[in-house]
Amino acid sequence: MNELTRQQIARQDYVDNSIFQLVNSLVPDEYRRPLYTDGSFDAVDYTPVIEWDIEWISELREHIENTLKWKLGISRPASGTETPEEDAAETAFEMAFYPFTYNEQRTTNNEQSV
Q: What is the mean pLDDT of each run of 10 residues along the chain (114 residues)?
A: 90 96 86 64 65 95 95 76 84 94 57 39
- What per-residue confidence (pLDDT) applies to 59? 97
Spatial contact of 15 and 106, defined as CB atoms under 8 Å apart: no
Structural domain boundaries in the chain: 6-97
- What per-residue confidence (pLDDT) applies to 111? 44
Q: Is 32 helix (H, G, I), strand (E, B) or coil?
A: coil
- What per-residue confidence (pLDDT) applies to 27? 85
- What per-residue confidence (pLDDT) applies to 40? 58
Q: Is 52 helix (H, G, I), strand (E, B) or coil?
A: coil
CB-based contacts of 63, cutoff 8 Å, min separation 6: none
Find the helix packing angle between 84-97 and 54-71, rounded to 10°.
Answer: 130
